């Protein structure tokens, strides 16, 4: 039945979302811990490398723009956390 397939696919997505959220929490904690080691919050060269790495890591050209957008937001939120703490 199509409904069962949809529910199963959504359950897989929910599991991935929980894993992504846990990884984000770890990444944010690391970003906050770097505050004292950096002269400024913004490092444009590093940000470019992170975005390029994310686009490459997804493995499919059709996903690259989406990965770049997501990581751009992750960088933005990480910088906010570094300023706030």
Assess whether pLDDT exceeds 60 at residue 85. no
Assess whether pLDDT exceeds 90 at residue 35. no
pLDDT on residue 9: 96
Are 54 and 70 in contact, with CB atoms under 8 Å apart?
A: yes
- Could you please state the CATH topology (level 3) that the domain comprising 2-84 is classified under: Chorismate Mutase Domain, subunit A (1.20.59)
Report the predicted TM-score, pTM, of the whole model to 2 decimal places.
0.89
pLDDT in tens, 48-72: 999 999 999 999 999 999 999 999 9
Measured CA distances, 67 to 4, 6, 19, 44, 48 (Å): 29, 24, 16, 18, 13
Q: Which DSSP symbol is given to 54?
A: H
């Amino acid at each position: 039945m199509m409904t069962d397939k949809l529910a199963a696919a959504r359950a897989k997505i929910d599991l991935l979302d929980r894993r992504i959220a846990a990884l984000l929490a770890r990444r944010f904690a690391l970003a906050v811990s770097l505050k004292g080691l950096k002269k400024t919050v913004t490092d444009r060269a590093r940000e470019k490398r992170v975005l390029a790495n994310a686009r490459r890591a997804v493995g499919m050209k059709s996903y690259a723009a989406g990965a770049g957008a997501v990581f751009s937001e992750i960088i933005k939120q990480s910088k906010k956390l570094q300023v706030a703490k």
